[in-house]
Structure 1
Amino acid sequence: MATEAKTDPAKHLLRVALTHPECVEGEVLEPEYGRPRIRLDMNVEMPLDMKADGISRSGVRTREPVIIKLPAAFPWQSPLFYLREDFPRNFPHLMPFAATPRPCLVEGDQDEYFLQFGLVEYGIFHLVEQLAIWLRKAAVSGLIDPAQGWEPMLRRDFRDVVEIDADAARSVVNRNGGWIAWQGRFFRRGAPEAFLNTAAETWVSSKGETTPLMRKPDNPTFTSRLTDSDASLGNTVVGVVWPDKNSDGTPRISATYLPESVATLRDLRTRAAELGCGRGLESFLANVERSFAGMFLLAPIPIGIVLCVRRPIHLIGSASDIELLPYVVEIRANKNRSTLFAGGDDEPVAPAMHYQSLTVGLLQTLSGVRARPALAMLGCGSVGSKLAMHAARAGQRIAAVSDELSLRPHNMARHALGAKFVGTNKAEALAKELSGFDMTPVVHGGDLSLDLCDPDRSKQIIPRAAGAAINSTASLSVREALVSAVTPRLRARLFEAALFGRGRGAFLLADGAGHNPNHCDLIAELYATLDDERAAKLLFDPAGGLTEIQIGQRGRRCA
């Protein structure tokens, strides 16, 4: 068996596949482009009334031929399964753009699924099992389970991306139908003369800020700048389009599954009309055309288009019944043009993957944490920067950052920020990094031990929006000043975090209700009751406790 697998993998695969009870017959076919092919005849279980007709109401036959093609890297890559060319296309879990229908047999990477079983024979058998299950469900239109929700249109492995907040897009949808234009940014890979779906690919993103479609010399709605010989970036728009209501006033619901097959502007217009979005799409495109009246721009500009489609049930993994179908099309504002779309109705349109924008909600979901109050960070060193960045990545807002010191080269050994910030103020540098998470904390760069005693400055250090404040300075004077600055009106919970013994020990203090006990009380209790010999040695050792690490020829600090 092992020898056969190496010398004739097609025969070996057929032998293994025929051990599956639903695989009734098969043969090795002539190779295609030098690669082995196998035909399997799969028995498809279905209700008796359909079986008597030899075909299900969904168009699946009781005996389905399936072609298996072996990739060049087999068995390190999984076999590819193809259905007959006239197999119905209105099923979920069909690979998009395949000239011959290809079923999507597993969730995730099929190669990983195939390889996880260790033995090639097991991998083959389990893929054939997945194929049998797929055909069985397709026969009874069961590839969408209403209990789970609507299966979004398969958009896996597309090269182009539209990045927007799905909730923001769904929130603009109303029953009357229409469109809205959002400010956007794009990155384009490919020469200016390259086209989508062939040699150009794009990433279009938007934060959901509405923009009027006007084109004036001082209006930066559309721009393009070369960053390389075959790469550019600039400003663009994303058009969000939703369906008109039915003639009786009810919302338009699209209950028929349509696999992704849009490749041209004509296809997009047809698909939009099928989904009730035709009027909105035409209006959006016409406004884009008018915004360029009398204007010229030599570089191609990709624009995003998102069709919002109502489904009969909620989407899998979502409480919403609105599915987003994103696309990218390019405009070329050349001289002597008749339209922005150089190819007319044949202008390439790239179906795109949707990536969720970086939002607090996304970070909380992926981190598995609930919403938590905003933080004020007192100290932005190695401890404070890490605490702030971990909190931000979990979707927790950072309301304020405070530190008077600058980042120095030796800080890079333990700091959360990169070397590009060396020489800049720690608080300002941390705030710049947090801006990438759409956070704009208040920045305080003064002496905390002094400014906490000033009522006005202390409101900057711990603003009202902060539900908690963390002192990570490891400074006795800052601790004393913070405790002294506390008033009954300060609602923020206070914490102190510190590393000692050169990072081999740590403590976290959390004050009590009404700030009683406070941090001075807690640190005194820690010192008085610490009975762990190793921890005590690390904490009280003058060479490695909470002392500052001296780096560089600066001399000793004098009182």
Structure 2
Amino acid sequence: MLRSSSLQPYADDLSVEVQAAIQEIGQYFGIPNPKVLILDHWHVVVPVVYNVSLPSRGAVDGIDIREQEPMLIRLSLNSYPHAAPFLLSDRKDFPRSRLSHLYFTTDDEPARLCLVRNNPHEWFATIKLRDFLDVGGQWLYKAATGQLDEDGDEFDPTRLEGNIGLKHIYRYDLINEVVSQNQRFIPDLPAALFIGGQLLKAGKVDSYQTNAHVPFIVFEKVRNAIAILSTEENEELVANPVFTFVFWDPDGAMDNLYLTSRPKNYGQLKLFFSLRGIDLHQALLKLEMLGAIPRLGLPIVFAIKRPRRVIGYNGNYEFINFLIVLPAEGVAAIDDSRKVKLQGHIEPFSKDMAVTLSDRNQTSASLYIGAGSLGSKLILHDARSGNLQIGICDDDTMLPHNLARHALVADRLGQNKAEALASIIKQFYSADKTDKITAITSNAIYLDKEFQEYQCIIDTTASVQVMNFLISKQLPTNTRYYKAEIADAGALGLLYAEGYNRNPRMDDLVNLASFNATKIEQLRTWRMNDAQREVTTLNVGLGCSSTTSVMADDTLGFHASVFSRMLAKATTQESQGMSGILAISSLDESKGSPSISTEYLDVQAFDILNCKAGSGWEVRLMGGIKELLFANGNRQAPKETGGVLIGIANYKTKTIHVFDIVVEPQGSHGTYCEFVRGNKGLPAEIDEIKRKTGEVIGYIGEWHTHPMNLKGLSTKDEKTIAELRVLNRTVPIPTCALIVTPDELLVYVYE
């Protein structure tokens, strides 16, 4: 019985992308009008039938795979093509219990085929829908012939000696301002009240921290809030709230004497304060009566006015920090022999401190897409430099194997990476507002309004899927897209930055890196190494998890540090006329000791041509190609000239990137009315480009001139294009013809 028999037809509007996918499915299976059925609120399915070539005696081991296998192709209504389709069985009796490479689904859900070892959305970002459908057929064939498990042996599983009390953390300027302005808690007492807490670690007090001044006018609200908090049970509590009392000389007297004897007990502390005009015991009794002293450790700070600014600080007050642990009966029960501890003062880590220590004055609101090993290091570099406007997008959790290179450590295992990093950054900056440190736990392709909040988008996923998605998004004009990735097993780091008005665009830059393998040795080594990595089995993966890269943490850390410095430089560029960036970090260990180098290339805007044939394709010419084409046309006029285009095509974005041209290959000749392009030596020249670029960049189209200013294709051009379309479909590449007139470039692209 078919599951599709109980599904209802989908009658609402479909996106252009989904409509195109349904049409392609129909063409693939020979279905003139494919049915579109409602699977759930987010997906539709298209019923199809696969013809499976079974062994002569039927499927092996009696597994019920049929020659006519009914399947459902699931499409996302809102996210296709950034979200991959899935292949589901239309049969309720599909033999799921006897087949591997199926997703774990409940009995009332359709069996869902696992077609690829890696992330299916990432995989689909690199292929056409027809390829997806082909792999579905191969899966069924393998299921029928017992070959699904041929690659199944791999499985990929997931910080004052003596009687010194705990440290007291507070901002000097916070207390200095209150004391300097004589902001008393009550008029007859030279003291101020601050709210803070005992910071806990594993249930024990680790340190004290003072965060904010509490004037008398708001004291009651603060006290009541503390009372409520103290009665609640909270196993995750990281601080017990306490008040800190700061005292100063009631006459504002200046003291230029150094302290040589510190009080060791409460009696000596009272004397210390008495010599400075303060009856400490009576002051504490009065504060206790007001409800300002809970039964916890009592931090007391005495401010001594000095004749000059205190070294390292911006004020003339020196603060001496004491800690008294009160008896359960309260202040009245304090014995003079009760020990008093000194507390060491520590400035909390703050944005201002971070900026000063990092020597980085400019920070931009940054959205990081990807919080993996590379992303986590870049995020923390940025945060530690004082950036408190950081968004972190990642839907993945911290797994044990991530400990090899990730910035997070073992106490964060099982947590979402974005949330864990955001939590850590907020802990760094306990004295600052951190509401703009944001974790986004959804997949990047669901981002939309979030882009409005950031000037920098840093993509560390090395994901074609994410790149295609970001290319398709209309980003704010003040937002710049960066992409960072590590290649060639850690030997190479690549950082890309789009130019003004997103030109050059990210795909221009990524493909340019491959083309530059024809000029830059490190890039050539990378591309050629990639080309030599052989795939020997169909990419149908055990557990559908990607294999973790083999790379040392220090290798990744080197590239992350270089990227961080490059990003700091890039964010200072003037936006108007801003060029794109292709930055390369290289780590060469082939001769023993590591050799490192960096290269920083400015990339000018590409010239953009839209297809005149209405196919929706776009041709993007690297800076200088346009001028080169016109120069060649003018040189040969009034005769026609031409040659071939060197570049790459992307069917997902319907874009052709052109990085070079070949002018009049051997055997070419032109007249006043036509150009015949020769072929002698051209295949070898193209093959050499392909070899150096790892089979990425190659022949991508034809160009010739119309010196008589014919603004379109000639009859001969149309005939030649028709012939080329037949040949190019076997590669497959689109057929691209570029016409150079005296004042215009015209491009025609056909699939």
Amino acid at match of 2:511: A
Matching residue of 1:13: none
- Which residue of 440, 451, 454 maps to 1:444? 440
Matching residue of 1:536: 524
Please give the residue correspondences for 1:275-314 in structure 2 after superposition, counting only pairs within 5 Å: 275=276, 278=278, 283=283, 286-291=286-291, 301-314=296-309
Change (3 A) 1:492 1:315: farther
1:219 is paired with a residue whose SS is helix
- Deviation digits for residues 30-69 of structure 1 (CA, Å, limit 9, x no counterpart): xxxxxxxxxxxxxxxxxxxxxxxxxxxxxxxxxxxxxxxx
Contact 1:407 1:422 in 2 (8 A): yes
Amino acid at match of 2:479: A
Matching residue of 1:256: 257
Matching residue of 1:471: 459
The CA deviation at 1:316 is 1.2
Change (3 A) 1:252 1:282: farther
Q: State whether structure 2 residue 380 is matched by structure 1 residue 392.
A: no
Matching residue of 2:326: 331
- Which residue of 407, 415, 424 maps to 1:433? 424
Amino acid at match of 2:227: N
- Which residue of 449, 453, 468 maps to 1:459? 449
* Residues in 2 aligned to 1:498 and 1:320: alpha-carbon distance in whole angstroms: 47
* Residues in 1 aligned to 2:286 and 2:317: alpha-carbon distance in whole angstroms: 25
- Which residue of 397, 400, 412 maps to 1:421? 412
Matching residue of 1:265: 266
Change (3 A) 1:532 1:371: closer
Contact 2:197 2:210 in 1 (8 A): yes
The CA deviation at 1:368 is 4.2
Aligned length: 362
Please give the residue correspondences for 1:77-88 in structure 2 after superposition, counting only pairs within 5 Å: none
Matching residue of 1:508: 495
Matching residue of 2:735: none
The CA deviation at 1:497 is 1.1
Matching residue of 2:689: none
* Residues in 1 aligned to 2:467 and 2:452: alpha-carbon distance in whole angstroms: 18
* Residues in 1 aligned to 2:227 and 2:362: alpha-carbon distance in whole angstroms: 38
- Which residue of 519, 542, 548 maps to 1:553? 542
Please give the residue correspondences for 1:49-198 in structure 2 after superposition, counting only pairs within 5 Å: 159-160=164-165, 161-176=167-182, 178=184, 179-186=191-198
The CA deviation at 1:463 is 5.0
Contact 2:302 2:321 in 1 (8 A): yes
Contact 1:177 1:242 in 2 (8 A): no
Please give the residue correspondences for 1:7-26 in structure 2 after superposition, counting only pairs within 5 Å: none
The CA deviation at 1:281 is 8.4
The CA deviation at 1:376 is 1.6
The CA deviation at 1:397 is 2.0
2:193 is paired with a residue whose SS is strand
* Residues in 1 aligned to 2:404 and 2:315: alpha-carbon distance in whole angstroms: 46
- Deviation digits for residues 275-296 of structure 1 (CA, Å, limit 9, x no counterpart): 46x2798545521344289xxx
For the pair shown, the structure with the greater C-alpha radius of gyration is 2
Contact 1:207 1:357 in 2 (8 A): no
The CA deviation at 1:201 is 9.7
- Deviation digits for residues 372-406 of structure 1 (CA, Å, limit 9, x no counterpart): 23322111111111111122223222421111233
- 5+ unaligned residues in a row in structure 2: which ranges? 1-159, 185-190, 547-651, 653-751
Amino acid at match of 2:241: N
- Calculate the TM-score normalised by the size of structure 1: 0.56
- Deviation digits for residues 488-522 of structure 1 (CA, Å, limit 9, x no counterpart): x4423432111122322111112334443332232
- 5+ unaligned residues in a row in structure 1: which ranges? 1-154, 190-199, 453-457
- Deviation digits for residues 66-98 of structure 1 (CA, Å, limit 9, x no counterpart): xxxxxxxxxxxxxxxxxxxxxxxxxxxxxxxxx
- Deviation digits for residues 173-226 of structure 1 (CA, Å, limit 9, x no counterpart): 24335233333332699xxxxxxxxxx99732233364837867970576999x
Change (3 A) 1:291 1:221: farther
2:524 is paired with a residue whose SS is helix
Amino acid at match of 1:159: I
Change (3 A) 1:394 1:402: same
- Deviation digits for residues 412-462 of structure 1 (CA, Å, limit 9, x no counterpart): 22211123433433222322232322345222222323x24xxxxx332x3
Contact 1:183 1:221 in 2 (8 A): no
Change (3 A) 1:188 1:505: closer
Q: State whether structure 2 residue 317 is matched by structure 1 residue 317.
A: no
- Which residue of 188, 212, 220 maps to 2:219? 212
* Residues in 2 aligned to 1:266 and 1:177: alpha-carbon distance in whole angstroms: 28
Please give the residue correspondences for 1:22-61 in structure 2 after superposition, counting only pairs within 5 Å: none
Amino acid at match of 2:417: K
* Residues in 2 aligned to 1:400 and 1:280: alpha-carbon distance in whole angstroms: 48
Change (3 A) 1:166 1:223: farther
Q: State whether structure 2 residue 511 is matched by structure 1 residue 499.
A: no
With 312-321 and 209-218 compared, the bigger mean Cα shift is at: 209-218
Change (3 A) 1:315 1:482: same
Contact 1:378 1:470 in 2 (8 A): yes
Amino acid at match of 2:377: K
* Residues in 1 aligned to 2:194 and 2:352: alpha-carbon distance in whole angstroms: 20
2:428 is paired with a residue whose SS is coil
Change (3 A) 1:206 1:379: same
Give the alignment's Cα RMSD to 1 decimal.
4.0
* Residues in 2 aligned to 1:428 and 1:238: alpha-carbon distance in whole angstroms: 32
Report sequence identity in percent. 23
Amino acid at match of 2:272: R
Amino acid at match of 1:357: P
* Residues in 2 aligned to 1:267 and 1:503: alpha-carbon distance in whole angstroms: 63
Amino acid at match of 1:207: N
The CA deviation at 1:351 is 1.8
* Residues in 2 aligned to 1:162 and 1:511: alpha-carbon distance in whole angstroms: 46
